């Protein structure tokens, strides 16, 4: 009798262990899926920025160059600005080239972490190069505007409006850069945990 009770208890414990393993496997799958969804959201934030840069650059190239040509800015400035804008877009696409959401879905987390660290370092390097370039370009823009043969009040108004627009765009761009860097940090931290 005692042996039968022990056998029943043992069978009951095995059934409970099997049920517990099943629950743990389901929870692990749910946790893994939730982690992948969160990481995919971070990757989307990172990759969305390259599209924003592309669209803003296309807008700036077409609208900016048409407007600046109409007010009489020299062709050398328009070409220089266009070359600078194209270089910025190409650099941004190269920096983002290795960030792929499919790596997360394939479970290649080490590759994602490595690429996120590399992207972060390239972003920081690009900011160190890009911010001084922007200052130089703004000085060139101000010089070219003030060299125009037009009403000085108009030119000052143009410079003030351009400065306000530049400051707003600069703040927005800096905030986007910080958002991308934060998303990289979050992605790296989640993978390392």
Q: What is the pLDDT of residues 79-131, one digit of tens each?
A: 999 999 899 888 888 887 777 666 555 656 677 778 788 888 888 898 899 88
- Write down the pTM of the prediction: 0.69
The whole-number pLDDT of residue 30 equals 44
SS3 content of the chain, % helix, strand, coil (to 5): 90, 0, 10
**Distance separating alpha carbons of residues 73 and 47, to the nearest angstrom:** 35
Tell me how far apart the terminal alpha carbons of the chain are, to the nearest angstrom: 51
- Higher pLDDT: 169 or 40? It is 169
Q: How many angstroms separate the CA atoms of 66 and 6, rounded? A: 89
Percent of all residues in the chain with a pLDDT value above 70, rounded to a whole number = 75
Q: Residue 94's closest CA among 38, 54, 44, 137?
A: 54
**Integer CA distances (angstroms), 141 to 85, 152, 179, 192, in order:** 14, 15, 29, 46
């Amino acid at each position: 009798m005692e042996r039968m009770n022990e056998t029943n208890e043992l069978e009951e414990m095995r059934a409970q262990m099997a049920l517990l393993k099943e629950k743990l496997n389901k929870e692990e799958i749910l946790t893994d899926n939730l982690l992948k969804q969160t990481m995919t959201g971070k990757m989307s934030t990172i990759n969305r920025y390259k599209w924003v840069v592309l669209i803003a650059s296309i807008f700036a190239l077409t609208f900016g160059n048409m407007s600046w040509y109409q007010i009489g800015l020299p062709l050398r400035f328009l070409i220089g600005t266009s070359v600078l804008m194209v270089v910025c877009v190409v650099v941004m696409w190269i920096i983002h080239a290795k960030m792929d959401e499919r790596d997360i879905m394939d479970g290649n987390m080490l590759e994602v972490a490595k690429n996120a660290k590399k992207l972060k370092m390239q972003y920081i390097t690009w900011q160190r190069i890009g911010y001084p370039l922007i200052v130089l370009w703004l000085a060139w823009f101000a010089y070219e505007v003030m060299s125009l043969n037009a009403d000085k009040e108009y030119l000052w108004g143009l410079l003030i409006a351009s400065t306000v627009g530049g400051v707003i765009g600069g703040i927005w761009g800096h905030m986007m850069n910080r958002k991308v860097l934060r998303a990289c940090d979050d992605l790296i931290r989640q993978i390392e945990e």
